[in-house]
Amino acid sequence: MNKYIKNSSRYFFLFGAFSLLLSCSADEKQTVTTLNQLVLQDDFEIDGAPDSALWNYDIGKGPGGDGWGNNELQYYTDRPENIVVENGMLKITAIQELYMGSGFTSARITTKGKFEQQYGRFEARMKLPSGKGLWPAFWMLGNNIDTSSWPQCGEIDIMENRGSQPLTVSGALHGPGYSGGTAITKSYSFTNSRVDTDFHIYGVEWGPNYVNFYIDNVLYNQITPEDATGEWVFNSNPFYMLLNLAVGGNFDGSPNSNTAFPQQMLIDYVRVYQ
């Protein structure tokens, strides 16, 4: 990638001498590298819509109208009511309302076709909503999805959270033979914090034959080809990033009477290193 700086906008690509200090330790079975070359940074500094040079909107209820394959209940929009940059934050808001045949609205954005990278460290600093039936996620898909389909393209779930469990998040890999309910996954539980009251940094460090999962720079899981029950599809293609807040679906079920709306997912920044 050539050096590219967009001074007037809210993100930039660059090559520079930045250092990333990891506060975790690893045993001899874990591969840990120092990824210190910052190549993308979006700090969401300019109020308004997410920058169209970096982010796309996914609109609707999924290509088949089936809740994006997960029985989700929301209709994704590009309205500022559902997604806006404001006061240095990207805000994704889930609203309970009748809209285009759905009972909820929210938003989902991707970097597909605009920023895609194979290997590196991908991270975001976020504060999540809470409540039964909420499903915030920061994740990645292989850019060959249109030709190879899912799960052959591969999926890296950097962070998923069940809204009913504000002390726990998880990370996962999906591929052929290990997808959906059989994905390779592990949870991380907070002891003195919550996902809905504090900001945390959620990230992965992805290299040849491994994906490391981090919370606040603490390594809590590593997945390698030996863990996969099918083909390892994470060494052949760049991936793009997605951020979304789903309502309902297979992961945490539907909201209940105790789930308050509107609910908001706050993203302070997104950064990518090589």
The residues assigned a catalytic role are: 155, 160
**Is it true that the peptide bond before 63 is cis, omega within 30 degrees of 0?**
no
What sign does the dihedral 170-57-205-116 (CA atoms) show? Answer: positive
The rounded distance, in Å, linking the Cα atoms of 117 and 119 is 6
Q: Among 74, 71, 149, which Cα is nearest to 108's? A: 74
Q: How far apart are CA 107 and CA 68, in angstroms?
A: 12
Element (H, E) at 218: strand 218-223
Q: How far apart are CA 220 and CA 222, in angstroms?
A: 7
In sequence order, the β-bridge partners of residue 108 are 58, 244
Strands 74-76 and 56-58: unpaired
* Three-state DSSP state, 226: helix
Q: Are 174 and 180 in contact (CB under 8 A)?
A: yes
